[in-house]
Structure 1
Amino acid sequence: MSKLRVNAFTLSLDGFGAGPDQDVTNPLGVGGGDLHKWMIGTRTFRKMVLGADGGTTDTDEAFAARSFENVGAWILGRNMFGPIRGEWPDDSWKGWWGDNPPYHVPVFVLTHHKRDPIVMDGGTTFYFVTDGIHSALEQAKVAAGGKDVRVGGGVATIRQYLREKLIDEMHLAISPIMLGSGENLFAGIDIPRLGYRCSEQVATALATHVIIERA
């Protein structure tokens, strides 16, 4: 059965999934890039994001590889797609990732402003959804063809799906840094009351990997 998943989503020790002041030079906010040291050296990251060979084959790599297994579609918040706010000024911005994004499946971007789909190299097509998270999920499930749908972020998008108890499983990587401010994933959300529990935890030198599932 198709699941709605969050995978390889990194939080600071104080609960922030992104730093403040996101812009073109700081796509994850100020200091946010330091969250992902556990991932950037893995074989999966180098292959999927950089198109390069090599990389680690340790526990961090195992979790990175799991994050791409059986994914048939993605959902992204608009901030995850880019730094532009308001109406799209033109069609020049096509994401952070260049001509061949690391998704290779349909990606549904939540936004309040209409835009035509963008067909990219490598099988990625960006669709822009203006009628809410439920519509995005319905469309993504159809596009996934029985495979899972992965919510890539950012924090605000995951929070919306969490509050509706729509996420089946989350893999969070807790990085040993503190950001102090930014976007906090769990602020004001009672995770146990929503029916979620921790089912797995593994620590490495660069992160503590936690699996949270909905009962």
Structure 2
Amino acid sequence: MGKVRVAAFSISLDGFGAGPRQDINNPLGVRGLELHEWALNTEEFKKMHGQSGGTQGVDNDFAAQSFENVGAWILGRNMFGPVRGPWEGDSWKGWWGDTPPYHTPVFVLTHHARPPLTMNGGTTFYFVTDGLESALQQAKEAANGQDVRIGGGVSVIRQYLFAGQIDEMHLAVSPVVLGEGEQLLSGINLSELGFIPFKTVAGEKATHLLLKKG
């Protein structure tokens, strides 16, 4: 049976999973890209974006493992793009160009209906307007026994944590201090939710912390 998991989600030393003031020029918020420096030059990241080369090692291994056995994704609307309010046709198709890196069904939480958007490489975005539970149910059905990956952003992960729906988390702790932005775990008692750390691995540019329900 598939798991519901968070994987390769980057946070700063002071606990932020995104920077402040997201916009078209700052998809991850101001300075948010610094959280992902550990992944950007890996072989896996470059392969995902149709490039060659890249570094190998611990960080690359974790980047690759984050995509293993994933049958569907869930994203928040902010993760899909900076557009607010009702959709204006198909003018916005995500940050990733014509071939997004997901290659599975992706369920986007939103308050505004929109027809499914089929992209190259096997990615279809489905826009879910009736809440977290519906998105998860649809994602599990689409995953067909594989894992459902909660891709973010911060708000979506927090909501699924509070709902008790996440089985495992892999957090990549980057050596960055943001000082402001979106706190991932503030006010969340992971121990009370049943999480225990079961592995910590030092990578080249991040420390990888793995937690699961005990």
Same fold (TM over 0.5): yes
Partner residue, 1:100: 99
Distance 1:205 1:144 in 2: 32
Partner residue, 2:46: 46
- TM-superposed CA distance for 1:205, in Å, is 3.4
TM-score (norm 2): 0.98
- TM-superposed CA distance for 1:89, in Å, is 2.5
Q: Does 1:196 align with 2:195?
A: yes
Question: Quick one: which amino acid aligns to residue 5 of structure 1?
Answer: R
Moved over 3 A (4+): none
Distance 1:39 1:192 in 2: 28
Partner residue, 2:10: 10
1:48-127 equivalence runs, <5 A: 48=48, 50-127=49-126
1:141-156 equivalence runs, <5 A: 141-156=140-155
Partner residue, 1:129: 128
Distance 2:127 2:204 in 1: 38
Q: Does 1:178 align with 2:177?
A: yes
How many percent of aligned residue pairs carry the same amino acid? Answer: 64
- TM-superposed CA distance for 1:56, in Å, is 1.4
Task: Report the count of equivalent residues.
Answer: 214
Distance 2:110 2:153 in 1: 13
The alignment's C-alpha RMSD in Å is 0.7
TM-score (norm 1): 0.98
Structure 2: state its 5+ residue gaps. none
CA contact (8 A) 2:58 2:204 kept: no
Moved more, 81-90 or 129-138: 81-90
3-state SS of the aligned residue for 2:135?
helix
Question: Quick one: which amino acid aligns to residue 43 of structure 2?
Answer: R
